[in-house]
Amino acid sequence: MTVTAIVDAVAAPAHTQGLGDQDSIWFKLTALQRGNEHNPMTTLMQLAERYGGVIPVNMGNQRVIFVTEPEHFKRVLVTKVDDYIKYFDGLKPIFGKSMITHDGALWQKIRMPQQPAFHPDMFAEYIPYFLTAIRSKMDLWSGLAKSGESFEMVEQTWTLAADMICKALFDRDMPFNPHVVFKCVKTYTDVMNHKQVRLKKVHSSGEFEITEEDTAKAMETWAGVPPDVFAADPREARERTLLSMIEAAVADPTIPEFDRQQAIDELKQYLWAGTETTALTLAWALYQASKNPDVAERIRREGEQVYGDREPTAADYGALAYTRAVIQETMRLYPPIWGLIRVATKADEIGGKEIKIGDRVVLFAYGTHHSAKYWEDPESFKPERFMGDAAKKRKPYTYIPFGGGKRACIGGAMSQVENTLAISILLRKFRPEYVGVEPPGINATVTLTPKGGLQFRVHELG
Ligand code: HEM
């Protein structure tokens, strides 16, 4: 299969499949926002405190079970993993039929040929491309520092994360406008939009901000991104990239399931799962660095000591222990995937509560990450928790930013390299100043996003 053939194969029309459908858990979860508009996570935390670690909630004709205990996470993610399948209703246009949505043998067949791209041995190869993307972001920030204008940080980090993936994993310069694409994706992943479309479907009135037509347009743009990536000129014609592995899988007759549409959808998946989460983590980390100047100073000092004035390498990444802990602590306080959703395919019992076939089970990662049962002073930002003995003593499954078991994030380790290097390098040259609402509100979209974004100004250090 040639690149051209893959591009020609793109057909899938834009659609708003599942968005705002009554049974979609994303639509139902908008009810969460009513409890505490500033941070809907607190509503679930309170429920967990009052009713224990397994909370069945009847939402219309469906049971949603919120679980918050580490041993229950282990049961669903590891011990009984095959009895709990993935849930992606309403998000198909974002992910298509990519591996993240599949289960069982098919999932394995699709993941296997791509796995080598994420082996830690590859990181040294990727780092120069991460650094190129970071440098281009620094040029942009120099301009923003000079003009003094404020900007939204998640949009900035999203474009950086997308650039890093395109350059390192696809051997392409970003062949799309990331700001436009970022907005399109948000249209779909913001749970409140699901609610608006739902209300519009029910009342068919024109008073809602977002329409199905808007989302269809957004998805059309989104669907056009992978073909643009395939069609773009390679930067260096590297032989061993994720993109070349995907192309080889399409050409491999022993895996007919890995067809042309699969290749397109894999790219969609990476451009969402690998950018949104990485970007949110970096943006929240910069927020914490702005609020805690001592943290920012320690990151700068560590960078100075470890790689000084030269470019950091893979070995330097290993030595940036404090900076890496800052990223890990950020993902504890703000897990980008705040809840992992599964559907029970067999009857089970969790924590003494009955699980019925078809129940939606939400592993409430945010709840465990913020629980005083497992973390001392849980609301404080303390990177030291992830260093030395403190890290070794941690109870398993109390920290699951990347999920767990065989379905754990394929790019988790790589994202930590990206974010550790990015924050280290950016802070050596800039002092980002958070100028938004304090504390920032939380929006429980598919990811944990700051309400209205994170508004910043940057200052260039002398
Ligand atoms: C801070 C960064 C990241 C976070 C917090 C994160 C989080 C997660 C989580 C929680 C899952 C499991 C979801 C579940 O079990 O329901 C997951 C899966 C996945 N992630 Fe990430 N992720 C990050 C970065 C990345 C990157 C950089 C990539 C690739 C470039 C990536 C690609 C994927 C893929 C493909 C899967 C599906 C794996 C499978 O189903 O086998 N992620 N991620």
Q: Which two tokens stand for residue 285?
A: 């980390």
Measure the CA–CA gap between 158 and 447, rounded to whole angstroms: 13
87 C-alpha to ligand 1 centroid (Å) = 14
Residue-wise pLDDT tens digits, 374-406: 999 999 999 999 999 989 999 999 999 999 999
Q: Which of 409, 414, 418, 421 to mutate to test the pocket of ligand 1 (most atoms within 8 A of CB)?
A: 409
Provide the greatest CA pair distance for the chain.
Answer: 63
For the cut 80, the answer to whether the pLDDT of residue 208 exceeds it is no
Closest Cα to atom 37, ligand 1: which residue?
100
Q: How far is the CA of 272 from the centre of ligand 1 (A)?
A: 9
Write out the two tokens for 369. Answer: 């990450």
Using N-to-C axis directions, what is the helix angle for 153-170 and 412-429, rounded to 10°?
A: 120
Q: Is 19's pLDDT higher than 70?
A: no
Mean pLDDT of 438-444: 91
CA distance 219 to 293: 40
397 secondary structure, DSSP code: T
Question: Is a pLDDT exceeding 70 seen at residue 150?
Answer: yes
Q: Which atom of ligand 1 is nearest to the CA of 100?
A: 40
pLDDT above 60 (res 17): no
pLDDT at site 36: 80
Rounded CA separation 48/305 (Å): 44
Cα 214 from Cα 95, distance rounded (Å): 18
**How many angstroms separate the alpha carbon of residue 355 from the centre of ligand 1?**
26
Q: Is the CB of 423 under 6 A from ligand 1?
A: no
* Domains of the chain listed by start with CATH number: 3-460 (1.10.630.10)
Question: Does residue 18 have a pLDDT over 60?
Answer: no
Distance, CA of 278 to CA of 415 (rounded, Å): 6
Q: Backbone phi, then psi, for 402, in 5-degree steps?
A: -105, 20
* pLDDT tier at 445, thresholds 50, 70, 90: confident
Q: How far is the CA of 277 from the centre of ligand 1 (A)?
A: 8
Give the Å distance between the CA of 409 and the centre of ligand 1: 4
Which residue's C-alpha comes closest to atom 3 of ligand 1? 277
pLDDT of residue 70: 97
- CB-based contacts of 136-143 (< 8 A; 24+ apart in sequence): 136/163, 137/163, 137/422, 137/426, 138/425, 138/426, 138/429, 138/430, 141/426, 141/429, 141/430, 141/458, 141/460, 142/460
Give the separation between CA 442 and CA 450, rounded to whole angstroms.
5
Confidence of residue 325 (pLDDT cuts 50, 70, 90): very high
Q: Which residues contact 156 (CB under 8 A, 6 or more apart)?
A: 137, 140, 283, 456
Distance CA 230, CA 175 (A): 9
84 bridge partner residues:
344
* C-beta 339 within 6 A of ligand 1: no
Ligand 1 within 6 A of CB of 409: yes
Give the nearest ligand 1 atom to 415 CA: 27
Q: Residue 181 belongs to what H/E stretch?
A: helix 178-189
Region of residue 182 (phi > 0: left; psi between -120 and 50: alpha; otherwise: beta): alpha
301: helix, coil or strand?
helix
Residue ID of nearest Cα to ligand 1 atom 1: 278
Q: Residue 323 and residue 335: Cα distance in Å, rounded?
A: 17
Q: Which helix (H) or strand (E) holds 385?
A: none
Q: Phi and psi at residue 176, in whole multiples of 5°?
A: -150, 165
* Residue in the block written with tokens 């209300």: 199
pLDDT at residue 12 greater than cutoff 70: no
* Residue 212: other Cβ atoms inside 10 A: 15
Residue owning the nearest CA to atom 13 of ligand 1: 403
Residue range 48-106, pLDDT digits in tens = 888 888 998 887 778 899 999 999 999 999 999 999 999 877 677 788 899 999 999 99
Q: Is 402 touching ligand 1 by the criterion CB < 6 Å?
A: yes
Containing 370, the helix (H) or strand (E) segment is: none
Average pLDDT, the chain: 89
Could you tell me which residues are beta bridge partners of residue 443?
449
**Interval 33-37 mean pLDDT:** 75
- Residue to substitute in 106, 246, 277, 400 for testing ligand 1 pocket (most ligand atoms within 8 angstroms of CB): 277
280 vs 33, residue with greater confidence: 280
Token representation of residue 143: 């301009």
**What local confidence, expressed as pLDDT, does residue 162 receive?**
96
| Mean pLDDT calculated for residue range 26-50 | 80
User: Which of the four pLDDT bands, split at 50, 70 and 90, describes residue 38?
Assistant: confident
Cβ of residue 407 lying under 6 Å from some atom of ligand 1: yes
More confident residue, 284 or 14: 284
Mean pLDDT in residue range 265-287: 96
Instruction: Point out the least confidently predicted range of 164-168, 196-200, 352-356, 360-364.
Output: 196-200
pLDDT at 348 > cutoff 70? yes
